[in-house]
Amino acid sequence: MPNSSEINNWLFEEGFAYFNQPFTINYQSSFSLPESMCISDSTFLPSDIIDVSMEPLAFSSADYQDYMSFKERLSNNQSTQIFRVAPKRLVDFKDIEEFENRFTDTLLHLIHEEIFEFGMENAADMFVQEHLKNNPFVTKNCINSIFLKNFANIGVTTGLLRIIAHLNYTEIEPTGPTIAVAALSHENAEVRECGIRAFENWEDISSLEYLKHIKCKEQWLQDYLEQVIIDLEEIHVLSG
């Protein structure tokens, strides 16, 4: 069994020193978005300069599922926990856990600091979108964990719902619709409204299977829900 020094030397020789290279996104208040870049229900909302440093880990769905399985089985007192994600490539569990922790802390900070308005995209949106490109499975898992742990926190839950509503359905499923369905059972009407709006923005006809079985006690919210259902049914008809 190689010791930690031999493993570190091996990682360096194989070119994995990039784990120590920060990934930075700079959002400048002087930035202006060309009209051609506007997206559905999303227009870039300039923020003050925010530096977000994250380490560029990347692995597949099967890799991450194996990691989660191994993580549950291994005891916390093991000094070295190595996870093989590809031939000749090893990643220490602590690296992945640190990534998850830093992602969670950064996203929660952005949710608390950023302004969330429908039709506006902010730094929190951009942060999630960037990490979905590089680490979709870790990112979705983190978002789901944040939502569950902060279900009683209206600011966090509505922030997350507005973030995932600006994503394409294929980018965030199955985590996105699962979160949105869970939101529809929340006692807070604003959270439920954000859940409905997410389905409205995604325009995915499979959402009809969920939405037709939802009832809202507030008439205005029930009217909104029924209109979204009608719109989705029209999309289904038009799509043939």
Q: Which domain holds residue 181?
A: 4-205
Tokens 């959402």 correspond to 207
Mean of all residue pLDDT scores within the chain: 75
Assess if residue 50 is contained within a domain.
Answer: yes
Assess if residue 47 is contained within a domain.
Answer: yes
Q: What is the pLDDT of residue 152?
A: 97
Assess if residue 237 is contained within a domain.
Answer: no
Strand intervals (E) in 87-240 = 89-92
Residue 227: both structure tokens together: 């209109």
Q: How deeply is 122 buried, as exposed, middle or buried, from its count of CB atoms within 10 A (0-12, 13-18, 19+)? A: buried
- Number of other CB atoms surrounding residue 54 within 10 Å: 18
Assess if residue 117 is contained within a domain.
Answer: yes
Helix (H, G, I), strand (E, B) or coil at 185: coil
pTM (whole model) above 0.85 = no
Assess if residue 81 is contained within a domain.
Answer: yes
Assess if residue 236 is contained within a domain.
Answer: no
Assess if residue 114 is contained within a domain.
Answer: yes
Counted domains in the chain: 1
Assess if residue 214 is contained within a domain.
Answer: no
Report CA Rg, the chain.
Answer: 20
Residue range 204-235, pLDDT digits in tens: 999 999 999 999 999 999 999 999 999 999 98
